[in-house]
Amino acid sequence: MSAVTMMVDTQMPMWIAVPPSLLQLDEASALQIRDPYGELLLDRGEIIADAQLLQRIQAIGLCNVEELGQIDEVDSQEASPVRSTVRLEEFHLGPGTLLFLSPEGDAQGDSLPAHLIGIIPGEDLLVRPAAGPAQETLRVRLAKAASIDVRVAVGQDVLRFASPLRLSCAQPYWYLHLGWPADVALQQDRLCPRLPVHQPVLIEHEGEVRRSALLLNLSEQGALVQYHTRLGKAGDTLLLRFVLPTEQGHLTLALPGIIRNRHTGMQSSDVVLHGIEFSHLDDAEMQAIRRHVQRGLLAADKN
């Protein structure tokens, strides 16, 4: 039986996300690790030699559940959601890199999109806020902030740092000089593969009417949900109701989740994207999502 066949086995989820506690830089892997398509990422006993490989494994790495069961120390340490601090110059952030900006201490809580247009290494980041209605809102909010909180996706992880606003330029277009950050946190936002989807989801928020929103991606850990306005603030609990296709037909899920982040869309402030982290999933719900994601990734690879 091939590795790919095992990963979509209908009897049990033979391949699961690698527990973060088993992944350490410059240490030998206790497991054989593959990507969702069955390709070998790291063999058992092989050293995790660099941070880039570690990030890739944390994002998409899968291990055999039977092999995992032979390891005693899987639950011996709890992984922190923030793995480490890093230096910004370790990462290649080219022109056009998407960033999300939030004025420090801003009560509104939404992050707004921008693009990196240049770097003065060790000195400044040159950032151009995305065009659209959100620009004027951002101008007003920036005027009240001495520092900007910045989020940048690197692979499946996220860099988070605060930068002082040094200069705001109006010509030839509006752009910002953000100071080079002293401390950068590398946050493990996505320890499981995510599948792009485009399907309706019903959202329930305590004390409010049920709302029909759009599910944009899905993983065992959470989902990205689009709605035309805010569904709540960061930390609020929602109930997500949606349908997944299964080998036997369809499964309706009702999953509690917590809003972890929220930002406006690139083209319009009337589109709000919500990062939702699932909470209190039972084994059957987690297995159903895992199988659906793995089948979707394999089908996309064949196309």
> What is the distance, to the nearest Å, from the Cα of residue 65 to the centroid of all Cα atoms in its chain?
24
Residue 243 is predicted with a pLDDT of: 93
- Between the alpha carbon of residue 197 and those of residues 131, 178, 294, 298, the distances in Å are 26, 35, 13, 14
Whether the model clears a pTM of 0.75, i.e. scores above it, the answer is: no
Residue (of 185, 181, 183, 182) closest to 160 by Cα position: 185
Residue 9 is predicted with a pLDDT of: 36
| Burial track 56-71 (b if 16+ CB lie within 10 A, e otherwise) | bbbbbbbbbeeebeee
Residue 14 is predicted with a pLDDT of: 58
Residue 296 is predicted with a pLDDT of: 79
Residue 302 is predicted with a pLDDT of: 53
Residue 270 is predicted with a pLDDT of: 64
Residue 1 is predicted with a pLDDT of: 36
Whether a cis peptide bond, with omega within 30° of 0, leads into 172 is: yes
From first to last of its 303 residues, the chain has per-residue pLDDT tens of 333 333 333 333 456 667 766 777 888 888 888 876 678 889 989 998 887 788 778 767 777 767 766 664 433 333 334 446 788 887 878 888 888 888 887 655 567 778 899 998 889 999 988 776 666 777 777 777 778 889 887 765 678 899 998 888 888 888 889 999 988 887 655 556 778 888 999 999 988 888 999 998 898 888 989 888 889 887 889 999 999 988 788 889 999 999 877 776 544 556 788 889 898 888 888 888 888 887 777 666 555
